[in-house]
Amino acid sequence: MQGHVSPMLALVEVTRFREDDQAYHEYVQILVGRTIAAAERAGWRVTRLAAHDLGTDALLASTDGASAVVIMGGADIDPAQYGGTTGYRAEGQHFPEADRAQLAVARRAAERGTPLLGICRGHQIINVALGGTLVQDLGEHSAHRNEGVPVDESMTPHEVELDPSSALAFRLGARHLQVQSAHHQSVGELGEGLRAVAWASDGTVEAIEHRTLPITGVQWHPEDPGTVDDQLGLLLGGLAREAERAAA
């Protein structure tokens, strides 16, 4: 992080407008705001971008000069993007334009070797972008989301086990973590070049990383206020080091 101009971090969310679900929208603003604040503390110049609102071409143009990219959480990915079907349990609203735009950004990051971090939906975007699939629903009684409660109570704590040989375990300095999750889908078949590096006790894949590229996805929410330790700061710090290596 040397020099007078801070490196640019493109923070990509689904949309800035959710008039039909104000409570969820307000909660998303908290999570995005915490991520921006942590990134700025780590020395990043953050550019906040909404994939649905911009569209694919504008999002690609807006992220073109970024030193690294973070793709945030949000709505389920359109099943058409990974060969899935509609009508599954707990299916929510889809944002097909956001899907196309975020997938394009993830694929370009892989082509260029741009450091990329995906959180929750962003983790799933990475997998789908590289040819992987999703488990469409983990079931009503899974330990990954509180259902039937206000959105700000949907996060549930649980433990994950990390592969000790992974870059993620080194970055977080741990083999076991307590994390905050609120998801009903997960990574299925892995995309090209990806490997699973963290799992919940039920076997759900909780993190992925690329074997040769600076690409990491976590299914949990390190930006949630209830997170134990500074997981978000450690992830963003690792992203900064990857950006420095990529620029060298």
Q: Which residues contact 20 (CB under 8 A, 6 or more apart)?
A: 93
| Of residues 113, 142, 118, the one with CA closest to residue 214 | 113
| Of residues 33, 42, 197, the one with CA closest to residue 126 | 197
> Catalytic: which of 52, 120, 183, 210?
120
The verdict on whether 223 is a catalytic residue reads yes
Contact in structure between 237 and 202 (CB atoms under 8 Å): no
The verdict on whether 221 is a catalytic residue reads yes
The verdict on whether 141 is a catalytic residue reads no
> Catalytic: which of 97, 206, 209, 223?
223
Extract the runs of DSSP E, i.e. beta strands, from the chain: 8-13, 45-50, 68-71, 116-119, 134-135, 156-162, 176-181, 186-187, 194-200, 205-210, 215-218
Catalytic residue IDs: 120, 221, 223
